Amino acid sequence: MSVLERFRSGSDSTAVQVMLVLVVISFVFFYGSPGGDTQEVVMTVDGERVMSTTFYRDLEQRQRREEAQRGRALSEEEMARLNQEVRQAVIERVALRHAANDLGIEVSDTEIARRIHAIEAFRDDKGKFDPRLYDNVRKRLGYTEADIEQVMREEIEIERLRQLVWLGAGASKAELEQAWRTGNTTVDVEYVRLRPTTFLDDVTVDAAALAAFHTSNAEQIRQTYDADFQRLYDQPERVRVKVIRLAARQDGQDVAALEARMATIRQRLAGGAAWEEVARVWSEDPSAGTGGSLGALNVPDLAPEVVAALAPLSPGQITEPVVEASQVRLFLLEDRVPARQIPFDEVKDEIATKLLREQQAPVVAAQFAESLLASWKQGTSPEAVLEPQGLALTSTGPVALSEENPFGPPEAMMQDASSAAVGTVLPEVYAQGGTLFVGRLASRVDPGEGGAAMDEAFIEGTLAARRSAHLEAWVADTVASMKVE
């Protein structure tokens, strides 16, 4: 007799009414291993074989669920990611089940039956467990009662293991007080952010240094040229132009009328009227305020009709009106630069100089930062040092030490600010992602000011966070210790 059959007679008891209602994903059939599985081995985890039926059943269910959520089939990349996630989940489940067995965690038949009774999919419209629903779902998925009971047993074992590990983490009174101080201390730090790119022009590159760099970095210089060729050195034909534009409107003149107006404007220009003045008065283009100047433009980026209108012109000449569906435009060609491919030999020194400066700029930035720190500590105003470099102080404003700010100073700098004397320069140059920081503690509000005190809610929240982190780390270590083949 199965545990469920032994339990069915008590399905209306008080015990059933108060049983745990825990959600078990997809009826907790993931990773279940149906009886009679004779498929190939997908992998072994710490000596335990994971069969293909087990693995691909889970993969298929996860795939169906994600495709239903997205409303489309998954791509190859998404399937590869899902395959890896399922594989990792299987390894984690086996690892935790082995750990539960090592600790002697046991689950009674009554607990298993209660868990099955708690699943909503097995309840009728009155909320009572329906054996027929249970049997229909079980058979449709190809499980025996023993299969389901085994999966349930493992689910409860793993839950109990997780709970034990979670409760096993704690915090001393001193640790709680330190966490409370960190979470309730507010500081305002004045600081300067020193990026190496700021110091590129401060790197001295003489002929000897440049020659040495060419000798030792010839391949890098050539690779940089090749990588930047299309963007910088394969230069298309360019034209510098000005425009006068008349735009058609539904409630105004049509394009034919605009064309006649533009012909009149062109005659005035041909008669000696200044282009800039005419553009300011008549043009409806955003460039009208600057006399219609569009600057230098790549010819391949222009509309074909504009290219055709400009093609026969020499600098200083004006196109015929360019008529389009909703506008009429007139162009003045100021200059034309032919297409050109700049050869490597012409720019290799320029590339080498740029690379050399990029290589040396962090060193110059570090030297500047140390000099700034020393002079600031001695009482020299930082503005006097920063202004010639085009730098200025900024401030965090009053912020809590526990507040994460990926765009602010490094965590180490903020931690030093938690104990430094107000008004003092912080003790070192701090680095984060290649950027350097130097700062001073402008103000600090310590916890307890205003009568605040550590309360039970804070203690419970801190313990919960520590326990969650402990559980996550423990699971990761346990999974990492598994031998997977």
Give the number of other Cβ atoms within 10 Å of residue 97's Cβ. Answer: 21
Collapsed DSSP state (helix, strand, coil) of residue 160 = helix
**Exposed e or buried b for every residue in 1-35, given b needs 16+ CB within 10 A?**
ebbbeebeeebeeeebeebeeeebeebbbbbbbbe
Residue 435's H or E segment, with its range, is strand 435-445
Question: Would you list the DSSP string of 331-365?
Answer: EEEEEEE--EE--HHHHHHHHHHHHHHHHHHHHHH
Q: What is the pLDDT of residue 18?
A: 28
Give the number of other Cβ atoms within 10 Å of residue 347's Cβ. Answer: 17
Contacts of residue 277, defined as CB under 8 A and 6 or more positions apart, other chains included, come to 291
Collapsed DSSP state (helix, strand, coil) of residue 276 = helix
- Domain 237-338 part of CATH 3.10.50.40: yes
Break the chain into its structural domains and give their ranges.
Answer: 3-167, 173-183+451-480, 186-213+351-445, 237-338
Fold classification of 3-167 (topology level): Triger factor/SurA peptide-binding fold (1.10.4030)
The pTM of the full predicted model, rounded to 2 decimals, is 0.55
Q: What is the pLDDT of residue 449?
A: 56
Residue 429's H or E segment, with its range, is none
Determine the Cα–Cα distance for residues 359 and 80; give it in Å rounded to an integer.
Answer: 39
Give how far Cα 441 sits from Cα of 327, 376, 426, Å.
60, 12, 7
Instruction: Name residue, tokens 């309360």.
Output: 455
Asked if residues 355 and 220 have their Cβ atoms less than 8 Å apart, the reply is: yes
Q: What is the pLDDT of residue 19?
A: 31
Instruction: Tell me the pLDDT of the chain (485 aa) as tens digits.
Output: 554 454 444 444 333 332 333 333 333 333 344 444 456 888 888 888 888 877 887 888 888 988 899 899 889 999 999 999 999 888 888 899 898 899 899 888 888 888 888 888 888 888 888 888 888 887 887 778 888 888 888 889 999 999 988 888 888 888 887 777 777 788 999 999 999 999 999 999 999 999 999 999 999 999 999 999 999 999 999 999 999 999 987 666 788 889 999 999 999 999 999 999 999 999 999 999 999 999 999 999 999 999 999 999 999 999 999 999 889 999 999 999 999 999 999 999 999 999 999 999 999 999 999 999 999 999 999 999 999 999 999 999 998 877 777 788 999 999 899 889 999 999 999 999 999 999 999 998 877 655 567 777 877 887 888 888 888 999 999 989 988 88
Residue 377 tokens read as 């500590």
Q: What is the pLDDT of residue 451?
A: 54
Closest CA to 266 of 330, 327, 335, 334: 330
Q: Is 234 left (phi over 0), alpha (psi -120 to 50) or beta?
A: beta
Asked if residues 86 and 59 have their Cβ atoms less than 8 Å apart, the reply is: yes
Give the number of other Cβ atoms within 10 Å of residue 216's Cβ. Answer: 8
In the chain, the amino acid numbered 356 is L
Half-sphere exposure of 443 (CA within 13 A, CB side): 9
